[in-house]
Amino acid sequence: MKGSIIVNTDWEQGVINKNIYGQFAEHLGRCIYEGLWVGQESPIPNTDGIRNDVVEALKRLNIPVLRWPGGCFADEYHWKDGVGPKENRKRMVNTHWGGVVENNHFGTHEFFQLCELLNAEPYICGNVGSGTVQEMSEWVEYMTFDGESPMAAWRQENGREKPWKLKYFGVGNENWGCGGNMRPEYYADLYRRYQTYVRNYGDNRIYRIAGGANVDDYRWTEVLMREAGYLMDGLSLHNYTVPGTWEAKRQALGFDEAEWFETMKKSLHMDELITRHSAIMDKYDPDKRVGLIVDEWGTWFLTEPGTNPGFLYQQNTMRDALVAGLHLHIFHNHHDRVQMTNIAQMVNVLQAMVLTEGPAMLLTPTYHVFEMFKVHQDAQALATHTKLGNYEYDGDSIPQVSVSASKAQDGYIHISLCNVHPGESANLNLELRGLEEVKEISGVVLVSDEMQAHNTFDQPERVKKAAFTSFQQQGQRLDIVLPPMSVVMLAIAP
């Protein structure tokens, strides 16, 4: 395929909120336990129980915000079980995820410590489905109140003198499903009630996020915006990329080109979802005060054979890398409405950044995309114009190349490119319009010659970044050869 791209380097469109690069960690499978938390007694090197190797790797992603404790777990979680001396913490059953014992050793204090280690903003999801207003309100008091009160005193007794800063708070999760099977009218009323008691103590200001729609449930968004839009700062949206169907999911490995194509096409569906949900939000909130918070997205395949089906552990291939790149580009394009997203999930669950096995850890292809793309965080989106061909498969077609450009605060211009075709390069002519002088250009690529390429504990570096040099510069023009199934990041020095 031959194509052309114009990047208008002097035409800024607005900020790509860094929170688009947010993550999600749930008490699900081996995400929290084993993946992030090993306990102080573990031979795996840790800081107060939090594993050092995983934290070190994740720090390199500049994770802006971390959502916790769920997911479906959030609407079954009673935070009081997870504070105080560990030996007294309640052992309970994680009914939603595998029916395993949850010993509550990772709770509020441990979560804030993890966020501090990662330098990420905490985003806590409260329990509407099975929790009370009082429980939610006391949690906020426990975390953020700096005065004399029963919850502040309890926090101090538990070793934390000063309150934490908490910005993001979700009022329930998937309340149309695992969070209570509610109708939007009913949830909208509950949202209004619960959020009233999510107080701003002192100078702590909470950004309240209402539980939003599942995929294309536009009526949910309509009702929520109509009935409660004025009381929320954000409204969530969940959509997973599921080749096959929910009932008959496909494998993370062992797929063919038909499934590759289907996965890419389903990833691009995110654009339509955001456009249509945003249009409804625009009706009630034309100034775009309320952010669309895509706080769960990513691939969802059959669980890895031989693992607990309730643990949602799956491998991660070049296909996942392209899915990540396409989604991030779509989120950039909707930077006026999309203020945060949280890929599911950070470690060992679904489209993870990191996989662990005992003391071993590996970085997935998705990790590398997040690492390469972090330069877009809080940068100014630049207008691009493209003339590009399609990837055709079995009578169907999708755009072959996706591109996004931004200008960072230090003046660097970054251009990310995804070629979703598994067998064809893309020959691109890229014009850096508006740039008087093009100085140094460097590139990084994530590529493989196999769709299924992935990292294993035996071969942890099979898929990794490399320098990208397949371009030639003539003044403001670049001739680029984008290899099949590749993700590229170009950096143009100011």
Active site residues: 174, 296
CA torsion sign for 17, 20, 21, 25 is: positive
Q: Would you state the torsion angle of the CA atoms of residues 175, 176, 182, 186, taken in this order, to the nearest 10 degrees? A: 80
Binding region for ligand AHR (CB under 6 A) out of 57-65, 67-75, 199-207, 460-468: 67-75
What DSSP assignment string belongs to 134-172? HHHHHHHHHHH--SSSHHHHHHHHTT--SPPP--EEEE-
Binding region for ligand AHR (CB under 6 A) out of 29-37, 69-77, 199-207, 216-224: 69-77
Residue among 345, 315, 240, 235 at smallest CA distance from 283? 235
CB 172 within 8 A of CB 179: yes
Query: Does 174 contact ligand AHR by CB under 6 A?
Result: yes
Least separation in angstroms between residue 76's CB and ligand AHR is 10
Least separation in angstroms between residue 249's CB and ligand AHR is 13
Query: Does 71 contact ligand AHR by CB under 6 A?
Result: yes
* Span 285-304, contacts to ligand AHR by CB under 6 A: 296
Q: Cα–Cα distances in Å, from 431 out to 104, 410, 436, 469?
A: 55, 21, 12, 17
Judged by CB under 6 A, which of 7, 16, 26, 151 binds ligand AHR?
Answer: 26
Cα distance between residue 48 and residue 39, in whole Å: 7
Residue 329: CB atoms within 10 Å: 21
Query: Does 141 contact ligand AHR by CB under 6 A?
Result: no
Chain position whose Cβ is nearest to ligand AHR: 71
Query: Does 70 contact ligand AHR by CB under 6 A?
Result: yes
Query: Does 353 contact ligand AHR by CB under 6 A?
Result: no
- Phi and psi torsions of 60, nearest 5°: -70, -10
CA torsion sign for 145, 151, 157, 159 is: negative
Query: Does 320 contact ligand AHR by CB under 6 A?
Result: no
Angle (CA) 179-183-186 rounded to 5° is: 90
- Phi and psi torsions of 399, nearest 5°: -60, 135
Q: 304 or 336: whose CB is closer to ligand AHR?
A: 304
Query: Does 76 contact ligand AHR by CB under 6 A?
Result: no
Q: 261 or 331: whose CB is closer to ligand AHR?
A: 331
Query: Does 344 contact ligand AHR by CB under 6 A?
Result: yes
Least separation in angstroms between residue 174's CB and ligand AHR is 5
Q: 138 or 296: whose CB is closer to ligand AHR?
A: 296
Binding region for ligand AHR (CB under 6 A) out of 66-74, 83-91, 445-453, 478-486: 66-74
Query: Does 138 contact ligand AHR by CB under 6 A?
Result: no
By DSSP bridging, strand 2-15 and strand 426-433 are parallel
Query: Does 72 contact ligand AHR by CB under 6 A?
Result: yes
Q: Tokens 């968004």 sit at which residue? A: 221
Binding mask 245-264 for ligand AHR (x = CB under 6 A): --------------------
Number of residues lying near ligand AHR (CB under 6 A): 10
Judged by CB under 6 A, which of 9, 23, 94, 173 binds ligand AHR?
Answer: 173
Query: Does 49 contact ligand AHR by CB under 6 A?
Result: no
Half-sphere exposure of 369 (CA within 13 A, CB side): 29
CB 433 within 8 A of CB 8: yes
Q: 58 or 352: whose CB is closer to ligand AHR?
A: 352
Cα distance between residue 182 and residue 322, in whole Å: 35
Residue ranges binding ligand AHR (CB under 6 A): 26, 70-72, 173-174, 296, 344-345, 350
